[in-house]
Amino acid sequence: MTPLMTPATVSTVPGLNAPQPIPLSETKTLTMGKAINEGLRQAMLDDPRVVLLGEDIGALGGVFRVTSDLLAQFGARRVIDTPLAESAIIGTAVGLAYRGYRPVCEIQFDGFIFPGFDQIVSQVAKFHYRTQGAVRMPITIRVPFGGGIGAAEHHSESPEAYFTHTSGLRVIAVSNAQDAYSLIRQAIASDDPVLYFEPKRRYHVKGEVVPELGLSMEQAVIVRPGTDVTLLAYGALVTTARDAALAAFDEGISIEVIDLRSLSPVDYAVVEASVRKTGRLVVTHEAAQSGGLGGEIIATVTERCFSYLESAPVRVTGFDVPYPPAKLESCHLPDLDRILDGVDRVMGRR
């Protein structure tokens, strides 16, 4: 046995020796970003095999500060500031998982996941199948996603459908602080690889957080019950969808808003029950329409609930364009009015 070398990332930046934060032990109001931070901390406390990898996640705490203070608390052997290479971040996580670790990779922005795509699709997703269950890949890949923050190119994308089409992966998207906290813990605890999408324009939105594992990450949740239309959303658009439901209520339309939470697999039990009740379906997402998750859900719901449908399900989504420049994103992104327009269409009002 030899003494271990010091990893290259050990930082001597001032301020790193702050007192160790106490993990969340009671209900608190946190921003979504802070809730993920607390969830990561708890997961790391719970299991010494949890390690974090990513660019700038150490001293900086990530460009969104989601990993703030974790380097100080857990050290550079568990909070690993990596060289700038996404394929290697995922690929070394595979090797760590091989050795029994539970790596949590941070992809700095949605658009930067593609250099790591091969390792995700051909390795992370397939190892369990390839080895007939012998090798597990309990890897969590955190991806800040979506637009609405006026960012530059590649900083506002919604690549989730690439992963929901990839067998072997689980995909979730959170919409609020409580889920952010609970589901990051569940994702890390999962023996399957999980893509964990964080809607970046909600990072600063606050919510109550109970320090519990909460509802299973596989379950969809009715965030507002209704009887006329089922409206499916995830990530940042859950808030928009709820606002739309409120507005529609004033116009006499009762919308049931469902936060999908799990994008793969979709919780069709909840979705189908709702559509059987309402007979009308609207799905909304920021990603481009063609090949997006909306089409998949509509096809499946149509197959399973055909006779219950009063009208053709409708999608309110980003257009089939590369994510546009900041000054045009308000056109591209589904907003309250476009969602209501979609609701009007399933209601036969247009």
For ligand TPP, the binding residues (CB under 6 A) are 55, 84, 86, 108, 112, 115
Chosen from other proteins, ligand TPP, its own copies, none, partner binding at 295 (C-beta under 5 to 8 Å by type): its own copies
Query: Which CB, 102 or 155, lies closer to ligand TPP?
Result: 155
Examine the residue annotation and report whether 155 is marked as an active-site residue of this protein.
yes
Does 225 bind other proteins (CB under 8 A)? Our answer is: no
Going by C-alpha positions, the residue among 107, 116, 124, 126 that lies closest to residue 88 is: 116
Q: How far is the CB of 13 from ligand TPP (least distance, A)?
A: 17
Peptide bond into 199 cis (omega under 30): no
SS3 for 136-178 is CCCCEEEEEECCCCCCCCCCCCCCHHHHHCCCCCEEEECCCHH
Going by C-alpha positions, the residue among 73, 62, 57, 67 that lies closest to residue 9 is: 57
The values of phi and psi at residue 26, to 5°, are -145, 170
Q: How far is the CB of 150 from ligand TPP (least distance, A)?
A: 17
Going by C-alpha positions, the residue among 171, 173, 74 that lies closest to residue 125 is: 171
Binding mask 259-298 for other proteins (x = CB under 8 A): -----xxxxxx-------------------xx--------
307 to 326, contacts with other proteins by CB under 8 A? 319-322, 324-326
Query: Which CB, 120 or 238, lies closer to other proteins?
Result: 120
Residue in 13, 77, 322, 330 binding its own copies, rule: CB under 8 A: 322
Number of chain residues interacting with other proteins (CB under 8 A) = 101
Query: Which CB, 11 or 87, lies closer to its own copies?
Result: 87
Residue in 28, 47, 136, 277 binding other proteins, rule: CB under 8 A: 136
Does 296 bind its own copies (CB under 8 A)? Our answer is: yes
| From 128, 154, 155, 332, active-site residue | 155
Does 118 bind its own copies (CB under 8 A)? Our answer is: yes
Q: CB–CB of 203/235 below 8 Å?
A: no
Q: CA-CA distance, 35 to 29, in Å (whole number)?
A: 9
- For 258, how many CA atoms within 13 A lie in the half-sphere containing its CB? 26
Q: CA-CA distance, 229 to 154, in Å (whole number)?
A: 34
Query: Which CB, 114 or 249, lies closer to other proteins?
Result: 114
The values of phi and psi at residue 63, to 5°, are -65, -20
Q: CB–CB of 192/137 below 8 Å?
A: yes
Query: Which CB, 226 or 318, lies closer to its own copies?
Result: 318
Q: CA-CA distance, 78 to 17, in Å (whole number)?
A: 16
Query: Which CB, 155 or 280, lies closer to ligand TPP?
Result: 155
Q: CA-CA distance, 319 to 339, in Å (whole number)?
A: 14
Residues in contact with its own copies by CB under 8 A are: 87, 111, 114-115, 117-118, 121-122, 125-126, 129-130, 153-154, 161-162, 164-168, 264-265, 287-288, 290-296, 298-300, 302-304, 306, 309, 311-315, 319-322
Which positions are annotated as active-site residues?
A: 155
